[in-house]
Amino acid sequence: MSSNNSRQLGLDAFRLLAALSVIFLHVGYYEGLPRIFGAEMRLSGRWAVPFFFMLSGFFSAPSLISDPNRIAHQSAKAFWVLIVSSLAMTPLLVWQLGLGDAAKKIISTEVLSQGTHFHLWFLSSLSFGLFVFFAMRIYGTNRSAMALVALSLGIMIFDAYYPNGRPFQTFSRYLMCFPFLYLGMLIRWKNLRLTLSAALGLTFLGVLLQNVEAYVLRELFDKSPFQFDFLIGTIPFATGAFFLAMQLPESPRLAVAARLGQKYSLGIYVFHPYFIYILTQGVPWNGRVYSLSIVPLTFVMTLLSLGIVFRYFPASERILAASRGDLQRLDDLQPFPPAFPDAEDD
């Protein structure tokens, strides 16, 4: 296999790891375990959503140059998946809130930005981010793209570091698409690489920096480490993980993980809250063992359920595959020019 195929396998395999990491974020506070352990579990999953954005940007980058209309089409597909996923999550919404409150949420404007369940904000943000970059490719400049990325990062950092709560929590999280989509595009255009040791070092640096930030913010402003969606350390954490995925050596196990990641990662992201709810509300377990087991149980149950659904309802797999961002495989991975016509003049 070529090195390009090896990179493809690594990135697809890391989809599966990222989907598992999202479950770490959504399980809750890990009752029965020391609070610091629960905080570490959640911090360890912060790289996942930025990684998904970077992956979409990486695969979308060539089309933004050669055929921008494909990016608009991809944006529309992501929004379509948001609609379908919202419909699929509606029973859980009714189950959790009751019919009246669920109906109020469904008809609210909030549903456009996060669907019928809070975690679906990723699909809305992805659709919006792709559309904005498409519009900037047609009408804008490289300066406007860089300004948007810088402004988004500034708001995200301000929100995380603000002493009294998080004034822009939902808004700053939604803006996450811009810096990480663009970062993924830059990695593709510039054909950037890190060695395996450098990628591991960058990942470790991100993990360490996130922990230092969380500790300092807790000591200075009494901020809970459970509440962060983004910290400065998230940037090297997610970026290091992305480069690490591209450097994994080929192996049969990697190929299996890659097939599972490509096929099931988005489905795991969308549907895992059902199994978290069942395990936390419907199973009379408690204590330390249960808190440790809920993440792998949720992951395995979601994966097996999707396997059954995809086998007997193959159309569901095609729908979920629509927004993965695989607009171009790595069969001809070459450096690409900058995103916007005037980029070389900046």
Q: 319 is written with which tokens?
A: 């729908």
- 82, 123 contact by CB (below 8 A): yes
pLDDT at 7: 80
Residue 326 has pLDDT above 70, yes or no: no
Asked whether residue 340 is assigned to any structural domain, the reply reads no
Residue 61 has pLDDT above 80, yes or no: yes
Residue 332 has pLDDT above 70, yes or no: no
pLDDT at 136: 92
pLDDT at 284: 65
How remote is the C-alpha of 35 from its chain's centroid? 25
Asked whether residue 342 is assigned to any structural domain, the reply reads no
Domain carrying residue 259: 3-188+211-328
Asked whether residue 69 is assigned to any structural domain, the reply reads yes
Higher pLDDT, 64 or 341: 64
For 113-149, what is each residue's pLDDT tens digit? Answer: 999 999 999 999 999 999 999 999 988 777 888 899 9
Question: For the chain, what is the domain count?
Answer: 1
Residue 285 has pLDDT above 70, yes or no: no
Asked whether residue 346 is assigned to any structural domain, the reply reads no
Residue with tokens 């999280």: 173
Asked whether residue 132 is assigned to any structural domain, the reply reads yes
For 184-235, what is each residue's pLDDT tens digit? Answer: 999 999 999 999 999 999 999 999 999 999 999 999 998 888 888 999 999 9
Asked whether residue 98 is assigned to any structural domain, the reply reads yes
Task: Provide the percentage of residues in the chain whose pLDDT is more than 70.
Answer: 89
For 229-253, what is each residue's pLDDT tens digit? Answer: 999 999 999 999 999 999 999 899 9
Asked whether residue 195 is assigned to any structural domain, the reply reads no
Asked whether residue 339 is assigned to any structural domain, the reply reads no
